[in-house]
């Protein structure tokens, strides 16, 4: 990687709430290090490695730690690995090409049991936003691809060509919170018999025609439709819901989960999951809470941390961020394990032994 490429890499990847993320991810490592353990080094997992902006900061702040970096985008993983080499951090870095809901398999593959902290920066990486050949952005004309992992078969073009009107309406309404979901879906189905949508410019033009000017949100009226398609193509919300229990069940005592969300549905998924461990599992007005029903998470952020005006001004992508974090304060109870049926057999065994 040349110096020019390195500067370009830094320019397109501007980590959001970096200082807060570093504090939350690395701040509990001393507590976990004091426990009886086989691992010599604390282990951090960056489940959404991207271009390693957060990950390099974690390793620099915690020189005794190692980091597992997971990313489903092979291009981003390669660039991040080269960045680690250039930063002199490669000996403490383990790259893994996988989706983050393969969390358990990724750890098992490398013989890693417990971890001390796990981090997720949800949504698109800067590389994907700024690349123009996958159709993620409504600002550039490109094929309607939107795959974070180009080896998967489902693309945005296929969704628009093959899903029925009811399914398209559900996607736009649920994932994009688009008021004109039904009208947009109907127009797509009507037109595709003669001229299927294949580029971002064509989709932009269709939405522009359908959404009345008096009811448009600020910015491009197609923004929500593009967001909805990206979430559908990559299965982001389902993967998130499957991943969070896997992480919890592999945490060491006092281990932490730190998550940055940029979409209301992502944040709702994270908040709901964390709240499950922040409240006592007892009927209202119960005078004494038995030990097995006490909360097993401790909240570290008192709700969600948001970007301040200064950060939003310097990095507009931070405007919608919500940062939440919890710490594991006691063993995961069996009720939690049973509630999340998507957890693997390996995860259940870890939870029972915790």
| Numbered residues of the known binding site for S-adenosyl-L-methionine | 52-54, 71, 100, 121, 128
Q: By C-alpha distance, which of 79, 201, 85 is closest to 137? A: 201
Measured between alpha carbons, how far is 32 from 40 in angstroms, rounded to an integer? 12
Measured between alpha carbons, how far is 221 from 244 in angstroms, rounded to an integer? 32
List, as residue ranges, the binding site: 52-54, 71, 100, 121, 128
The C-alpha R_g of the chain, in whole angstroms, comes to: 21
Measured between alpha carbons, how far is 160 from 143 in angstroms, rounded to an integer? 12
Burial class (CB in 10 A: 0-12, 13-18, 19+), 133: exposed
Tell me the β-bridge partners of 71: 97
CA atoms within 13 A on the CB side of 27: 14
DSSP state of 40: S
Give me the phi and psi of 234, to 5 degrees please.
-100, 0
Q: By C-alpha distance, which of 343, 222, 298 is closest to 28? A: 298
Measured between alpha carbons, how far is 256 from 139 in angstroms, rounded to an integer? 37
Q: By C-alpha distance, which of 180, 181, 171, 190 is closest to 212? A: 180
Measured between alpha carbons, how far is 260 from 119 in angstroms, rounded to an integer? 8
Full DSSP string of 109-145: HTT---EEEEEEE-S--HHHHH-SSS---TTS--BS-
- Exposure string (b/e) for 190-201, b if CB count within 10 Å is 16 or more? eeeeeeebeebe
């Amino acid at each position: 990687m040349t110096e020019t490429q390195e500067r370009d890499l830094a320019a397109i990847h501007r980590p959001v709430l970096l200082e807060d993320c570093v504090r939350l991810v690395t701040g509990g490592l001393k507590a976990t290090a004091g426990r009886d353990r086989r691992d010599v080094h604390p282990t951090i997992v960056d489940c959404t490695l991207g271009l390693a902006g957060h990950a390099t900061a974690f390793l620099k702040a915690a020189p005794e730690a190692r980091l597992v970096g997971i990313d489903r985008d092979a291009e981003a993983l390669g660039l991040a690995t080269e960045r680690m080499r250039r930063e002199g951090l490669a000996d403490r870095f383990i790259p893994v090409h996988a989706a983050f809901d393969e969390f358990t398999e990724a750890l098992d593959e490398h013989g890693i049991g417990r971890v001390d902290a796990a981090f997720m920066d949800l949504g698109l990486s800067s590389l994907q936003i700024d690349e123009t050949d996958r159709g993620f952005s409504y600002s550039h004309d490109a094929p309607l691809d939107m795959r974070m992992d180009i080896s998967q078969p489902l693309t945005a073009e296929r969704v628009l060509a093959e899903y029925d009107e009811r399914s398209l309406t559900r996607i736009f309404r649920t994932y994009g919170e688009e008021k004109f979901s039904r009208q947009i879906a109907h127009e797509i189905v009507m037109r595709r018999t003669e001229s299927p949508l294949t580029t971002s410019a064509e989709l932009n033009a269709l939405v522009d025609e359908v959404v009345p000017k008096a009811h448009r949100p600020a910015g491009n009226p197609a923004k929500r439709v593009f967001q909805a398609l990206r979430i559908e193509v990559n299965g982001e919300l389902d993967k998130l819901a499957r991943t969070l229990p896997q992480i919890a069940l592999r945490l060491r005592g006092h281990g932490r989960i730190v998550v940055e969300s940029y979409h209301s549905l992502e944040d709702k998924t994270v908040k709901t999951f964390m709240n499950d461990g922040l409240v006592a599992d007892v009927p209202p007005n119960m005078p004494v809470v038995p030990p097995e029903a006490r909360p097993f998470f401790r909240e570290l952020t008192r709700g969600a941390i948001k970007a301040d005006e200064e950060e939003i001004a310097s990095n507009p992508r931070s405007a919608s961020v919500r940062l939440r974090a919890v710490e594991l304060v006691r063993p995961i109870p069996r009720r939690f394990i049973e509630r999340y049926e998507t957890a693997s057999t390996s995860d259940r065994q870890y939870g029972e032994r915790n």
